[in-house]
Chain A
Amino acid sequence: NAGVTQTPKFRVLKTGQSMTLLCAQDMNHEYMYWYRQDPGMGLRLIHYSVGEGTTAKGEVPDGYNVSRLKKQNFLLGLESAAPSQTSVYFCASSLGYEQYFGPGTRLTVT
């Protein structure tokens, strides 16, 4: 099993550009999450999903959209990137009490 994978690993965007981050899990987990982590800080929840076709806002959802069309995939979109969205983005999935995290995507917005 690959676990949780994230694509891409690194990306540089210009202000105003858009992009989609892909998270995939092969553990048949119901729950999936997107977090961001700024330097020296803990993770903050952006959006999450409790099942295919459902999404909900987390702590810091502004500027992001998500979709969960397939159970194994959770997409995070930035419609108009801003320098404040420079961060490391982590995806996670869970079936119950334990969350499994991906390796992260390092995004820089200039």
Chain B
Amino acid sequence: DAKTTQPPSMDCAEGRAANLPCNHSTISGNEYVYWYRQIHSQGPQYIIHGLKNNETNEMASLIITEDRKSSTLILPHATLRDTAVYYCIVRVIRGAGNMLTFGGGTRLMVKP
């Protein structure tokens, strides 16, 4: 699976959009970009995933660059409850065991 690089921490004002970047310059053509988040020692929670088109769901939007070497997770109106560690993971959608490899993630702090 391709390796990802994320900033260790970011701040965001409550009510503003939070834009979390992820670099995955060695991504392969059959690898998807997944985002999970972990709120204060709870189990990680799936947010969204995508291959090359931009994706949106009720939680967030995922913007993937045309060359697929980087992506941005967007939380459109961040709330205090969005304070968490966000993990960007790249892997094939159905690999052996469908395993996830977690890096250090980005610690997002949403401030009032």
Contact = CB atoms under 8 A, between A and B. Distances in A.
Same complex origin of A and B: yes
Contacts, number: 59
A56 B96 CA distance: 10
A94 B98 contact: yes
B49 to A, nearest CB: 6
B102 A43 contact: yes
B25 to A, nearest CB: 20
Contacts of A44: 102
B41 A58 contact: no
Interface residues of A, number: 27
A48 B101 CA distance: 13
A45 interface: yes
Chief secondary structure at chain B's binding surface: loop
A50 B97 contact: yes
B104 A42 contact: yes
Contacts of B44: 43, 90, 92, 99, 101
Interface residues of B, number: 23
A101 B93 contact: no
A104 B104 contact: no
B98 A90 contact: no
Interface string A40-55: 0111110010100000
B105 A96 contact: no
Nearest to B100: A99
Contacts of B100: 43, 45, 99
B88 to A, nearest CB: 11
Given A97-B93, A97-B98, A99-B98, A4 B43 contact: yes
Interface of B: 32, 34, 36, 41-46, 49, 87, 93-94, 96-105
